Amino acid sequence: MISGHEGDAPLPVSDVFFAMLRRDVRVARRELPFFLLRTTMQPLLLMVVFGYLLPKMGMVAKGYTATLLPGVVSLSLALSAVQSVSLPMVAQFGFSKEIEDRLLAPIPSHLVALELVTAGTLQGLLAGLFVLPVGRLIMGAIPGLGFSNAVQVFSVMLLGAATFSALGLLIGCAINPQQIGLMFSSIIGPMIFFGCMYYPWKGLDTVPVMKYAVLVNPLVYVAEGMRATLTPGVPHMDLTAISLALLTLLLLFWWLGLRAFMKRAVT
């Protein structure tokens, strides 16, 4: 009745990893409309108000959409990456314990964390790629918008989504379910307002203290990176500096997040 020898046949960890990724894709596909609504509603509303209504009323300059579009794309990408990892994780570690089936699968636990971050990165990319054309539709023609550097656009999106997904791992492991509201008001909120999303970083020249203080905010680099690649005519940071900053933050968040994850995976 018991074969009992399956434990001895080779089982590549990549098989297990991709099985878990398929699981996340299955769940995400089922929730796609809710996912897009949840993660892109806010950015879309922002664009309707600041990118369509205000310019039409003449209250902001016409060219402002070229600053706003990259900011909004970066916001939806960042928000969905960070949320799609952290929110389920808080619940799954906190009370439902659903994650245990994956922690008991024959794969080193750090690869489970890597899988979660990979899935979060894909969802961040998806949200960014969804908002970009929709934003273009809402705001009309955007001066200087070009897709000649599609590869760079995609690279910045990938790096940004990965960074925020790793941040999601850290947040998801470090906070407990009662603190979710607090996380939004104390971390995500300020991050959005001081993320150079509505204005280019160069604009902060007038407030030097702020200009250097916001450099701890990862959203700054994604927003500036999107400007550097999507609307290079708008003032922006140097793309190499942006890439290095994002890479550094990615590694930092991954390292901290993995530590927090392992602490909860194995007590």
Partner 1 sequence: MPGMIETRALRKVYLAASRKRVTPPRGTGTPSGGTRQASSPPQSGEIAALDGLDLEIHEGEFFGLLGPNGAGKTTTIGVLTTRVHATSGEAFVAGKNVATEEVAVRRRIGVVPQRPNPDRGLNVIENLLFHGAYFGLSHAVSMQRAMGLLEQFEIADRAHAKVEELSGGQQQRLMIARALLHEPRVIFLDEPTVGLDPQARLALWDILRILHAQGRTIVMTTHYMQEADELCDRLAIVDRGRLLALDTPSRLRLQAPGSTLIDLTIEGDCAAAATLCRRLSGVQRVDEAAGGLRAYSDRGGELIPALIHAVEEAGCRVQNINLSKPSLETLFVSLTGRKLA
Are 113 and 264 in contact by the 8 Å Cβ rule? The answer is no
Neighbours of 180 (CB within 10 A): 16
Give the residue with the Cβ less far from partner 1, 60 or 103: 103
Give the residue with the Cβ less far from partner 1, 170 or 242: 170
Q: Closest distance between partner 1 and the C-beta of residue 185, in Å? A: 22
Q: Closest distance between partner 1 and the C-beta of residue 159, in Å? A: 24
Q: Closest distance between partner 1 and the C-beta of residue 78, in Å? A: 23
Query: Residues 244, 113, 71, CA angle at the centre, nearest 5°?
Result: 40
Contacts of 261 by beta carbon, 8 Å cutoff, 6+ apart? 109, 110, 112, 113, 169, 173
Query: Residues 199, 211, 164, CA angle at the centre, nearest 5°?
Result: 70
Single-letter residue type at 207: V
Give the residue with the Cβ less far from partner 1, 211 or 264: 264
- CA distance to 23, 34, 43, 179, per residue, from 78 (Å): 22, 17, 11, 20
Q: Closest distance between partner 1 and the C-beta of residue 108, in Å? A: 5
Sign of the dihedral through C-alpha 157, 239, 197, 143: negative
Give the residue with the Cβ less far from partner 1, 2 or 209: 2
Residue 189 to residue 195: CA distance in whole angstroms: 10
Q: Closest distance between partner 1 and the C-beta of residue 118, in Å? A: 16
Give the residue with the Cβ less far from partner 1, 48 or 262: 262
Q: Closest distance between partner 1 and the C-beta of residue 121, in Å? A: 18
Terminal CA-CA length for the chain: 35
Give the residue with the Cβ less far from partner 1, 14 or 186: 14
Single-letter residue type at 150: A
Chain positions contacting partner 1, by CB under 8 A: 1-4, 6-7, 9, 11, 13, 15-16, 19-20, 22-23, 26-27, 30, 88, 96-98, 100-110, 258-259, 262-263, 265-267
